[in-house]
Amino acid sequence: MTEWTNKGLTRHFFIVAAVAFCWFLGDSYRPVQAEAESIVVDMSVYGQLEYGDFFQQAEAIASDEIRRQFSQNPDRSDVQVVVVGDRNGEIVPILTTAVSRTQWQETPRVIVWSQYYHTSYALLQRYQEQPTEIVAKTPVRATIGTQPPSSQIDQALDEGRLSGAEAQDYLDELD
């Protein structure tokens, strides 16, 4: 009987220890909540920009936003800034910067902490390189209307729009 009691006590002891351990972990273990909020900053793009100027402007915007976030929020440990280009409502990411406060204090340069999207330059500049299309031309008939009908028929024959027989038929109708 003592053997069964010892086994029972041992079993109860392990159960109580496991419950106490789970209670301790459940009560004291709290996962750390990372500040995953991204700040999206808009960079309006007008006209033609040089490649280097385009990214320098985006870096300046990101740098200003990082400084502002760290100065306004003293408890903030890190920040992620996404600079997007906006040309006539088309939005394209230019760069993403993720940096901690200590990293920024050591090296306050956006270029060190950024991921660049180099194709964004081409996407936002593509309209500047295309020639202007002619949407409509003045119809040929509008310019011919000021000439006498026989001249119009002769011109159509010369341009190959009428055959000789068709031109003769039109001229016969005019007489």
pLDDT tens across the length of the chain (175 residues): 555 555 555 554 545 444 444 444 454 444 444 445 789 999 998 888 888 899 999 999 999 999 999 999 999 999 999 999 998 888 999 999 999 999 999 999 999 999 999 998 888 876 554 555 555 555 555 444 556 777 777 777 777 777 878 778 777 776 6
Going from N- to C-terminal start, the domains of the chain cover: 38-129, 140-174
Specify the pLDDT at position 56: 94
Written as one string, the DSSP assignment of 96-163 is EEEEEHHHHHH---HHHHEEE-THHHHHHHGGGGSPPPP-----HHHHHTTS-HHHHHHHHHHTTSS-
Hey, how many other C-beta atoms are within 10 angstroms of the C-beta on 79?
24
Tell me, what's the pLDDT at 110?
Answer: 94
Pairing assessment for the beta strands 90-100 and 78-87 based on DSSP bridges? antiparallel
pLDDT for position 157: 74
Contact between 83 and 41 under an 8 Å Cβ cutoff? The reply is yes
Quote the pLDDT of residue 5.
54
Helices and strands (DSSP H and E) totals, the chain? 8, 4
CA distance 150 to 141: 14
pTM, two decimals, is 0.54
Residue 24: how many CA atoms within 13 Å on its side-chain side? 6
Q: What is the DSSP string of 65-79?
A: HHHHHHHH-TT--EE
